[in-house]
Amino acid sequence: MAGGAPAVWPPVAGAGAGGAFAARCLGAVVENRSLGSLVWLTLEVPGWPGAVPGQFAMLQARDSGCFLGRPLSVSAQYGEVVSFMIAPIGEGTRELCALSVGEQVWVLGPLGNGFDLDLLTAGPGRTVLVGGGVGAAPFPLLLSALAARYQQTPPPADAPKPEVLVLLGFRDASQACGAGPLAGAAEELEAAGVSCPGEVATEDGSIGRPERVTETMWRQVRPGDRLAVCGPWPMIEGVAKVCACIPDVQVWYSLEAGMACGVGSCHGCVVTLADGSRARVCREGPVFSSAALFDRGCFDAPAGGAS
Ligand SMILES: Cc1cc2nc3c(=O)[nH]c(=O)nc-3n(C[C@H](O)[C@H](O)[C@H](O)COP(=O)(O)OP(=O)(O)OC[C@H]3O[C@@H](n4cnc5c(N)ncnc54)[C@H](O)[C@@H]3O)c2cc1C
Ligand code: FES
């Protein structure tokens, strides 16, 4: 790690779904690679306990003009080397995307609940990953985790070959470079005996069909599938409308929301669930089931911070 900074301070109570202990510490940039209009930022994070796919971290450049960190999904991890896929849309993300190798970043995480691999792989249907734009960010880690799972517990020889289908929608070819980091993880799945086809669409038609990922879903999603979905709220809403028309589809959505603390204290990220109860996206989420989010047939945005 660069700079001889204090390694871990302070410990933050409240682990994510993996039971790993979240901590705030200074990481150092080991790679900053352009992915078209996105950036693949890799940090060495001392003491990183490992994230469940779908968990996030609050990141803030050490020399930052921003008061708060920004929530970013963990895209890949190899021990203490952790990668994030970032869209530079505002001050906080632009600062992070401008960092050079050796510069330091405050990292608080892993945070939130993440996707439940048991639920995503239960039953005879396929696992389907649906991402919009930088919503593809958690999927390299999710694919790797699924590969590790199938390597540890291969499907019975007489069972049909399992399939993980990846559907991604981007604005244009430049943003579609965000599909790149999923390729290696898809190969890990193929090596584990799982077929991993995918389809990429762009709104301007520069890569794949000229359509939104929700239109791709109409062709691809089948009864019995289990979906992990990540993207901006309008896409989540569109996915929910498609899924309401396909029988026996189960869906888990990773929500984006404005966040201040990231650890459940400020209640700035609260959404209202279908049953009227309130949940913090940073703590009870960011992953929520379709049943928790939506009354069937009702697709109003949850009240609160969903953005
Ligand atoms: C759990 C979680 C995981 C996330 N994972 C990633 C990730 O892996 N990669 C990534 O690039 N982003 C991710 N985001 C979104 C990211 O946190 C925001 O883009 C970021 O906080 C914006 O900060 P900023 O300072 O750059 O922009 P700001 O200055 O805060 O905002 C710039 C503009 O973008 C708008 N905006 C801010 N946040 C969002 C948002 N979430 N969606 C749409 N518009 C927004 C603002 O209204 C404003 O107009 C995630 C968000 C959550 C909650
Ligand atoms: S961001 Fe503070 S409670 Fe969620």
If you average pLDDT over every residue of the chain, what do you get?
90
Output the CA 235–ligand 1 centroid distance in Å. 15
CATH number at residue 37: 2.40.30.10
Q: CB of 52 within 8 A of CB of 22? A: no
Output the CA 153–ligand 1 centroid distance in Å. 37
pTM of the entire predicted model: 0.91
Report the pLDDT value the prediction gives residue 11, as an integer from 0 to 100. Answer: 32
Q: Which is higher by pLDDT, 43 or 23?
A: 43
List pLDDT tens digits, range 164-183.
Answer: 999 999 999 999 999 999 99
Pairing of strands 250-254, 226-230: parallel
**Do 90 and 184 belong to one domain?**
no
Mutate-to-test residue for ligand 1 from 85, 89, 97, 270, highest number of ligand atoms within 8 A of CB: 89
Please identify, among 254, 284, 302, the residue that sits at the C-terminal boundary of a domain. Answer: 254
Tokens 């069937």 correspond to: 296
List pLDDT tens digits, range 217-264.
Answer: 999 999 999 999 999 999 999 999 999 999 999 999 999 999 999 999
Domain count for the chain, please give it: 2
Is residue 248 a part of any domain in this protein? yes
Among 14-18, 100-104, 159-163, the least confident range: 14-18
Report the pLDDT value the prediction gives residue 34, as an integer from 0 to 100. Answer: 97
Instruction: Give the pLDDT mean for 24-45.
Output: 97
Mutate-to-test residue for ligand 1 from 32, 52, 93, highest number of ligand atoms within 8 A of CB: 93
Report the pLDDT value the prediction gives residue 4, as an integer from 0 to 100. Answer: 33
Closest ligand 2 atom, CA of 282? 4
Residues 1 and 50: their CA atoms lie apart, in Å, by 17
Q: Is the CB of 269 under 6 A from ligand 2?
A: yes
Q: Is the CB of 68 under 6 A from ligand 2?
A: no
List pLDDT tens digits, range 274-297.
Answer: 999 999 999 999 999 999 998 754
**Do 103 and 168 belong to one domain?**
no
**Do 219 and 180 belong to one domain?**
yes
User: By C-alpha distance, which of 280, 298, 282 is closest to 290?
Assistant: 298
**Do 80 and 160 belong to one domain?**
no
What contacts 24+ positions apart, CB below 8 Å, involve 14-18? 14/263, 14/264, 14/283, 16/51, 16/52, 16/55, 16/110, 16/111, 16/112, 16/113, 16/114, 17/52, 17/55, 17/112, 17/113, 17/114, 17/116, 18/49, 18/50, 18/51, 18/52, 18/55, 18/110, 18/114
DSSP, residue by residue, 157-171: TTSPPPBEEEEEEES
Domain of residue 38 covers: 8-111
CATH number at residue 179: 3.40.50.80
Closest ligand 2 atom, CA of 71? 1
**Do 100 and 182 belong to one domain?**
no
List pLDDT tens digits, range 46-85.
Answer: 999 999 999 999 999 999 999 999 999 999 999 999 999 9
Please identify, among 111, 140, 165, the residue that sits at the C-terminal boundary of a domain. Answer: 111
Output the CA 62–ligand 1 centroid distance in Å. 19
Output the CA 266–ligand 2 centroid distance in Å. 5
Give the containing element (helix H, strand E) for 11: strand 8-11
- Confidence grade of residue 1 (pLDDT, cut at 50, 70, 90): very low
Residues 305 and 307: their CA atoms lie apart, in Å, by 6
Q: CB of 281 within 8 A of CB of 255? A: yes
- Confidence grade of residue 124 (pLDDT, cut at 50, 70, 90): confident
**Do 35 and 107 belong to one domain?**
yes
